[in-house]
Chain A
Amino acid sequence: MTVLVLLDHEAGAIRQASRSAITAASKLGDVDVLVVGRNAADAADAAAKLPGVKKVLSAADTTSADELAEPVAALLVSLADGYSHILGGSSANSKNILPRAAALLDVQPIPDVVEIIDADTFVRPIYAGSALATVKSSDAKKVLTVRASAFDPVATEGGSAPVESVATPAGEDTSKFIGTELSQSERPELESARVVVSGGRGMQNEENFKLLEPLADRLGAAIGASRAAVDAGFVPNDYQVGQTGKIVAPELYIAMGISGAIQHLAGMKDSKVIVAVNKDPEAPIFQIADYALVGDLFEVLPALEAELDKAG
């Protein structure tokens, strides 16, 4: 079986989430990849180097230069013959494009796959991750997106695949790209940040919350808070991570002075790695933290910053 993976790329480099998608695809068969958009040529070169890739398809034409769903979905459909599965990482891009392609192929897409059981059977979260559903598809062709955190990304070097040019089918031109505004970080958005540093009641007051900033700066992290900190007035409500606040699933979640009430855990339990710093050794958060540091957070904070400043 051969699988086609739509890659996300930025400035000529293949995004980590797409490299995870290649790992997932490898479980299903041989892997071809598709790059489109501006920088498709550079991206194609980078893609060719990824281990496990059999062939790189590159669409560098203007029709799909902006990676809009309409032309890229049409491109995928034109290439679909011969592929048993079409994959993408669970990115905004893939989620925008792949379902449209699936409709044109008359198949039901399977988003956010976290485990591949076999060619037809997949595990995916439902109800915002409160449950995991194992589903079997009766479609001849499968269209899926996969969760990056569930598959280790392939390395960036080690492969050498041929690059083949493909042309995007001409379309109706009813959608036009106007512009993009990337958030130049003051801070990343809490919900999409790769790293989150959160403070709880243990921060003690509004002033002290600012002490999280140097740590967050060094990690490129968003700053969050527990409900207790918000209720106590340390930070405004949009910092709140938890059942009634934001649900986050970053790669790294650092909880400073947070006890770990279930309402908070509900908001961050899907984080890949959880670090908890609290002076109470019995704090419930230690029951789910991957790394637990019992200590005074006001001492730990500067110590962490110093360590991070040292070269890795």
Chain B
Amino acid sequence: MSENPREIMEFDVVIIGGGPSGLAAAIRLRQLAPDTSVCLIEKGSEIGAHILSGAVVEPRALDELLPHWRKTGAPLNTPVSEEHMLYLTPTRGYRIPILDRVMPHMRNHGNYIASLGEVCRWLGAQAEEMGVEIYPGFAGAEVLTENGRVMGVATGDMGVGRDGKPGDNYAPGMELRAKYTIFAEGCRGSLTKQVMEMYNLRKGVDPQTYGLGIKELWEVPAELHRPGLVQHSFGWPLDDRTYGGAWMYHFGENLVSYGFVVGLDYPNTWLSPFDEMQRVKLHPSFRPYFEGGRRLSYGGRALSEGGLQSIPRLTFPGGMLVGDTAGFLNVPKIKGTHTAMKSGMLAAEAVAEAFLTNRVEPGSYTRRIRESWLWDELRGVRNIRPAFARFGMKGGALYSGIDAMLLRGRAPWTLHTRHADNETLEPASISPKIDYPKPDGKVTFDKLSSVFLSNTNHEEDQPVHLKVRSTSMWKTVNWDVFRSPESRYCPAGVYEVVDEQAAPALQINSQNCVHCKTCDIKDPTQNIDWVTPEGAGGPNYPGGM
């Protein structure tokens, strides 16, 4: 872009991403080797701006990392006190009995309902106090390599116009060079994607599969608030071939976290995850809680569901992958924070060791992962999500019951995920259309007024960060075969088809993008490439979210 070479700054370690895994890695590094210079960059405008999770947090990793977290004000204040798993029909909800026997992974005693964004802000403060340099508002845009070794990351140029040329306020990116670079971008990281290709990290492992979680934060009248309540549902409105369900967690000051996850291996192109999420609020098992409530925020984010079988090779010369970008989320538990943090801590330990032994590749990370409770945990649940994919919802539920109660996760076999999520969509012509109710403006809402509450903003004059590789492919595949699934699966209304009757074309409202990564995952021919927009853009999820 610019003729002048970029400014360079050297650190011992650079961490890309300020989520739980990146922050845990940063803190652990400074604990083990207090003289290590650690630089952490985060594309959101502040730590927590892009963090979206339910969340029910298992404090296991936090107990190991910062044992005094209770005394130092970590925002984990609402212990889980009541939990239900409901099977929904269109009109009723049936509680699964003896839940902790039938679904032992769901045992939430000792866990906390919290805003993961606030937890990250707290972790960020701890990290800064320990001397980690954190720079929010800067996106990692380019992986730096030299002789096959990752040397760090370059932040994105700022002030580039829509036409790709430097504008009046052009500020070139900076090179952050480090001996070891930790990729902590969360699910479907954009730089991780490049690194996986560069080093063929996915060779021999199952494709990663994903879910899309769409969430709202509500403030409800005090009389309806049941702090500590954890409620999940499955069944209606999804069909047997579509994985997913709703959550509702009560916590804090009259706050309710509500959301819906849809497995992105869904086959029906007419499915709209947003509309499914909205209509479940109308179900009698959920509706009463929203009466007289106020919707505070909205957002969406993909999550990694592949589990053990989909974890790629984790290290490469000069770096490693931590957290959801590698895919450590425990799907049946519906928890990924504790495993993400643990992976970050193990990465820090491996890096500390690599400094001493002067290794190019922090290879002991993989061994540490395999020897930890993280691996045991994921191995125990490895067959559950693939069973749902293989046998459908009913079959999967049956299998997971057997797996949990009889096999206790020690099945001698391992089910595999055979298809990537983008390969499972079926043509529009053979898929049943779904009749979604119109929003009522009180409990259910339209997409645009929802995106409004995510406080999403991007600098207007910048290149569109959603790269459609081939416009003709969009027409012949996305439109002709699937009738533009992206205009339905995107939770932010980024993709719109204009002039459907005469000359259908795709309009991209990139301003709305909440950085969920679903389009990068689900596009049938992988025709959409999500690259990071200018730093500080995207959602600004508020406290409580």
Which residues from chain A sit less than 8 Å from chain B, CB to CB?
Answer: 227, 231-232, 237, 243-244, 261-263, 266, 284
Interface pair A237/B498, CB less than 8 Å apart = no
Is B460 positioned at the interface, with any CB of A under 8 Å from its CB? yes
Interface pair B452/A262, CB less than 8 Å apart = yes
Is B78 positioned at the interface, with any CB of A under 8 Å from its CB? no
Q: If the complex has contacts A232-B498, A237-B460, A244-B457, are A263 and B507 also in contact, measured as CB distance less than 8 A?
A: no
**C-alpha gap A244/B462 in the complex (Å):** 14
13 A/B residue pairs, CB under 8 Å, sorted by A: A227-B509, A227-B511, A232-B498, A232-B507, A237-B460, A244-B457, A244-B460, A244-B511, A261-B448, A263-B448, A263-B452, A266-B452, A284-B446
Closest 4 A/B residue pairs (Cβ): A262-B449, A261-B448, A262-B452, A262-B448
Distance of B510 from chain A, by nearest CB (Å) = 9
A sample of 6 more A-B contacts (CB under 8 A), given A261-B448, A266-B452, A284-B446, is A231-B509, A232-B507, A237-B460, A237-B461, A261-B449, A263-B448
**C-alpha gap A111/B498 in the complex (Å):** 45
Complex interface residues of chain B between 449 and 468 (CB less than 8 A to chain A): 449, 452, 457, 460-461
Complex interface residues of chain B between 406 and 464 (CB less than 8 A to chain A): 446, 448-449, 452, 457, 460-461
Contacts of A284 in B (CB 8 A): 446
**C-alpha gap A243/B455 in the complex (Å):** 10
Task: Across the interface, name the chain A residue whose C-beta is closest to B453.
Answer: A262
Contacts of B449 in A (CB 8 A): 261-262
Complex interface residues of chain B between 226 and 252 (CB less than 8 A to chain A): none
Distance of B80 from chain A, by nearest CB (Å) = 35
Task: Across the interface, name the chain B residue whose C-beta is closest to A284.
Answer: B446
**C-alpha gap A181/B448 in the complex (Å):** 41
Which residues from chain B sit less than 8 Å from chain A, CB to CB?
Answer: 446, 448-449, 452, 457, 460-461, 498, 507, 509, 511
- Find A231's partner among B448, B457, B461, B507 (CB 8 Å cutoff): B507
Task: Across the interface, name the chain A residue whose C-beta is closest to B498.
Answer: A232
Contacts of B511 in A (CB 8 A): 227, 244
Task: Across the interface, name the chain B residue whose C-beta is closest to A230.
Answer: B460
Task: Across the interface, name the chain A residue whose C-beta is closest to B457.
Answer: A244
Task: Across the interface, name the chain B residue whose C-beta is closest to A266.
Answer: B452
Contacts of A244 in B (CB 8 A): 457, 460, 511
**C-alpha gap A302/B53 in the complex (Å):** 53
Distance of B145 from chain A, by nearest CB (Å) = 37
Contacts of B509 in A (CB 8 A): 227, 231
**C-alpha gap A262/B452 in the complex (Å):** 7
Distance of B340 from chain A, by nearest CB (Å) = 33
Task: Across the interface, name the chain A residue whose C-beta is closest to B511.
Answer: A244
Task: Across the interface, name the chain A residue whose C-beta is closest to B451.
Answer: A263
Task: Across the interface, name the chain B residue whose C-beta is closest to A237.
Answer: B460
Contacts of A263 in B (CB 8 A): 448, 452
Contacts of A227 in B (CB 8 A): 509, 511
Distance of B458 from chain A, by nearest CB (Å) = 9
Distance of A230 from chain B, by nearest CB (Å) = 9
Contacts of B446 in A (CB 8 A): 284
Task: Across the interface, name the chain A residue whose C-beta is closest to B447.
Answer: A261
Task: Across the interface, name the chain A residue whose C-beta is closest to B450.
Answer: A262
**C-alpha gap A231/B460 in the complex (Å):** 10
Contacts of B452 in A (CB 8 A): 243, 262-263, 266
**C-alpha gap A267/B407 in the complex (Å):** 59
**C-alpha gap A244/B455 in the complex (Å):** 11
**C-alpha gap A261/B496 in the complex (Å):** 14
Distance of B539 from chain A, by nearest CB (Å) = 14
User: Which of A232, A261, A266 is most buried by chain B, counting CB atoms within 10 A of its CB?
Assistant: A261
Distance of A260 from chain B, by nearest CB (Å) = 10
Contacts of B448 in A (CB 8 A): 261-263
Task: Across the interface, name the chain B residue whose C-beta is closest to A262.
Answer: B449
**C-alpha gap A263/B511 in the complex (Å):** 12
Contacts of B498 in A (CB 8 A): 232
Distance of A271 from chain B, by nearest CB (Å) = 19
**C-alpha gap A266/B451 in the complex (Å):** 13
Contacts of A262 in B (CB 8 A): 448-449, 452
**C-alpha gap A232/B507 in the complex (Å):** 8
Task: Across the interface, name the chain B residue whose C-beta is closest to A264.
Answer: B448
**C-alpha gap A285/B509 in the complex (Å):** 20
**C-alpha gap A136/B157 in the complex (Å):** 49
Contacts of B507 in A (CB 8 A): 231-232
Contacts of A232 in B (CB 8 A): 498, 507
**C-alpha gap A237/B452 in the complex (Å):** 19
**C-alpha gap A231/B511 in the complex (Å):** 10
**C-alpha gap A261/B492 in the complex (Å):** 13
Contacts of B461 in A (CB 8 A): 237
Distance of B299 from chain A, by nearest CB (Å) = 16
**C-alpha gap A244/B507 in the complex (Å):** 18
**C-alpha gap A266/B449 in the complex (Å):** 10
**C-alpha gap A243/B449 in the complex (Å):** 12
Task: Across the interface, name the chain B residue whose C-beta is closest to A204.
Answer: B499
Contacts of A231 in B (CB 8 A): 507, 509
Task: Across the interface, name the chain A residue whose C-beta is closest to B459.
Answer: A244
**C-alpha gap A261/B445 in the complex (Å):** 12
Contacts of B457 in A (CB 8 A): 244
**C-alpha gap A187/B452 in the complex (Å):** 31
Distance of A73 from chain B, by nearest CB (Å) = 37
Distance of A244 from chain B, by nearest CB (Å) = 7
Contacts of A266 in B (CB 8 A): 452
Distance of A247 from chain B, by nearest CB (Å) = 14
**C-alpha gap A163/B276 in the complex (Å):** 71
**C-alpha gap A212/B461 in the complex (Å):** 26
**C-alpha gap A263/B452 in the complex (Å):** 7
**C-alpha gap A284/B448 in the complex (Å):** 11
Distance of B268 from chain A, by nearest CB (Å) = 26
Distance of B445 from chain A, by nearest CB (Å) = 9
Contacts of A243 in B (CB 8 A): 452
Task: Across the interface, name the chain A residue whose C-beta is closest to B449.
Answer: A262
